[in-house]
Structure 1
């Protein structure tokens, strides 16, 4: 964790802001420090399917495809590293 502290930076997102979007190229990994994020997929007809919620301590953004498998929006104020 100490090594991650030196490599990372804290970023704040306001309520409703998108942290990352489905299919975007993965350029960062996220450790949720404060707040809650909604994780979802967009369906072909424009609806949103909730696939989960991220809570403090959750680590997001790591996958083998190099692209995000879902989108993440802040529910209230969020801080990530």
Structure 2
């Protein structure tokens, strides 16, 4: 687990995100205590050319599991 946390926290995906040239839906809960939105989704939305950011008020890190009734319709759309 420590190696995973280290890899995710120390790997810079900036150039990878800039290379994406297809539409991307970036989804993030604004109450994510594991990966803060300011350090991830807000930055990613600026880097992905055709990115759309959807912020879910009050939802946590595992929002796809804890709130599938909210997330799944957006994924399917």
TM range (shorter): under 0.3
What is the TM-score of this pair, normalised by structure 1?
A: 0.25
The structure that has the greater radius of gyration is 2
Higher-strand-fraction structure: 1
Higher-helix-fraction structure: 2
Q: Which has the higher contact order (CA 8 A, sep 6+)?
A: 1
What is the TM-score of this pair, normalised by structure 2?
A: 0.26
